[in-house]
């Protein structure tokens, strides 16, 4: 299918949505393979869905070495999201040096760090450049609201871990709803990471190994559309129901918007506004989301 045929609400909802994290489990491919994959995705029909290349700060040099041969072939500057090391000041120095050396080839404009509470955020913020988009991965505990308020004050972003390689790594839908409600209320943009390989909630193996454990995986369409309806003020009970919905025919995508269960509608304009707040999700696979969307007839 040619790109021009993509339904407008799909294109709006999914533009630059997948940050490619092939270096991380469960894929955990080599740097050489991850870089080659990203270059191929940049040359594919669905490159409009591709976001940043996710890399640990300690592997920036390795990335540069393996990616050099691809920069001229793809003809565009690669955007990176960097995972912070233990020392935030050293992380910022390495990113600054990398960006200076890679001018016209690659640019790290996003940083992902961890913080357990608002005090840790306050300790890290002074080291952060104003022009760097920084996402703080936060635990979904009693400190969550205070932490997100701190991010709002300092104009920083949040990150939620939506899964992993064990069933215990997946938060309850009520926790996801609470996180998104607070972020949207505080006007704090956020991204998701892990466990969102598939468009809709489903029971799947959690790794690619034989006899891998299975679990309910959250769907990226569920999560992003749940945020869209939260933005409209719908009650958490309804949002939780949407997050658990596994039926593809409950979701109707049209050029003017998305209809859920023949009753609830999110206009394409609202989705465009939403994507300024719900930025992307990290995934160790780019092909799985694309293939699954093709399977259900959305691409």
What pTM does this model have?
0.95
Cα 288 to Cα 121: distance, rounded to the nearest angstrom: 34
Q: Compute the mean pLDDT over every residue in the chain, rounded to the nearest whole number.
A: 95
pLDDT at 12: 97
| Domain residue limits, the chain | 3-295
Residue 4 confidence (pLDDT) above 80: no
**Under CATH, which number does the domain 3-295 receive?**
3.20.20
pLDDT at 5: 76
Closest CA to 187 of 232, 228, 160, 155: 155
Cα 174 to Cα 81: distance, rounded to the nearest angstrom: 28
SS3 at position 101: helix
pLDDT tens, position by position, 36-59: 999 999 999 999 999 999 999 999
- Percent of the chain beyond pLDDT 90? 92
User: Tokens 């990471």 appear where?
Assistant: 193
What is the Cβ-side half-sphere exposure of residue 106, based on CA atoms within 13 angstroms?
29
For residue 265, what is the enclosing H or E element?
A: strand 264-267
Residue 74 confidence (pLDDT) above 90: no
Instruction: Give the model's confidence band at 13: pLDDT under 50 very low, under 70 low, under 90 confident, else very high.
Output: very high
Closest CA to 55 of 7, 16, 9, 95: 95
Instruction: Give the model's confidence band at 200: pLDDT under 50 very low, under 70 low, under 90 confident, else very high.
Output: very high
Instruction: Give the model's confidence band at 113: pLDDT under 50 very low, under 70 low, under 90 confident, else very high.
Output: very high
pLDDT at 2: 41
Residue 155 confidence (pLDDT) above 90: yes
Backbone angle region of 286, left / alpha / beta, with phi > 0 → left and psi within -120 to 50 → alpha: alpha
Q: Are strands 50-56 and 18-20 parallel, antiparallel or unpaired?
A: parallel
- Kindly state the DSSP code that residue 221 receives in the 8-state scheme: H
Q: Please name the residues in contact with 54: beta carbons below 8 A apart, sequence gap of 6 or more.
A: 19, 20, 21, 23, 24, 80, 81, 82, 83, 112, 282
pLDDT tens, position by position, 211-254: 888 989 999 999 999 999 999 999 999 999 999 999 999 999 99
CA 103 to chain centroid: 25
Q: Cα 207–211–217 angle (5° rounding)? A: 40
């Amino acid at each position: 299918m040619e790109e021009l045929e993509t339904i407008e609400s799909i294109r709006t909802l999914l533009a630059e949505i997948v940050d490619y994290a092939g270096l991380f489990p469960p894929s955990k491919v080599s740097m050489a393979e991850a870089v080659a994959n990203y270059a191929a995705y940049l040359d594919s029909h669905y490159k409009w869905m591709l976001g940043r290349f996710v890399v640990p700060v300690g592997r920036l040099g390795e990335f540069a070495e393996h990616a050099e041969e691809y920069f001229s072939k793809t003809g565009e500057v690669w955007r990176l999201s960097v995972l912070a090391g233990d020392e935030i000041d050293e992380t910022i120095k390495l990113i600054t040096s990398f960006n200076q050396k890679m001018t016209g080839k690659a640019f790290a404009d996003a940083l992902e760090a961890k913080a357990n509470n608002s005090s840790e955020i306050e300790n890290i913020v002074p080291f952060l450049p104003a022009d760097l988009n920084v996402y703080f991965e936060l635990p979904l505990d009693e400190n969550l609201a205070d932490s997100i308020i701190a991010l709002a004050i300092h104009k920083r972003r949040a990150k939620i871990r939506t899964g992993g390689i064990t069933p215990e790594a997946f938060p309850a839908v009520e926790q996801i709803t609470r996180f998104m409600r607070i972020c949207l209320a505080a006007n704090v943009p956020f991204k998701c990471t892990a466990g969102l390989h598939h468009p809709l909630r489903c029971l799947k193996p959690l790794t690619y190994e034989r006899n891998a454990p299975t679990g309910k995986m959250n769907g990226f369409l569920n999560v992003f559309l749940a945020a869209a309806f939260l933005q409209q003020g719908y009650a958490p009970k309804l949002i939780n129901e949407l997050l658990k919905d596994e039926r593809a025919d409950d979701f109707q995508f049209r050029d003017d918007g998305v209809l859920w269960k023949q009753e609830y509608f999110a206009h394409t304009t609202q989705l465009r506004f939403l994507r300024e707040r719900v930025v992307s999700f990290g995934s160790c696979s780019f092909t799985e989301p694309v293939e699954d969307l093709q399977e259900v007839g959305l691409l």
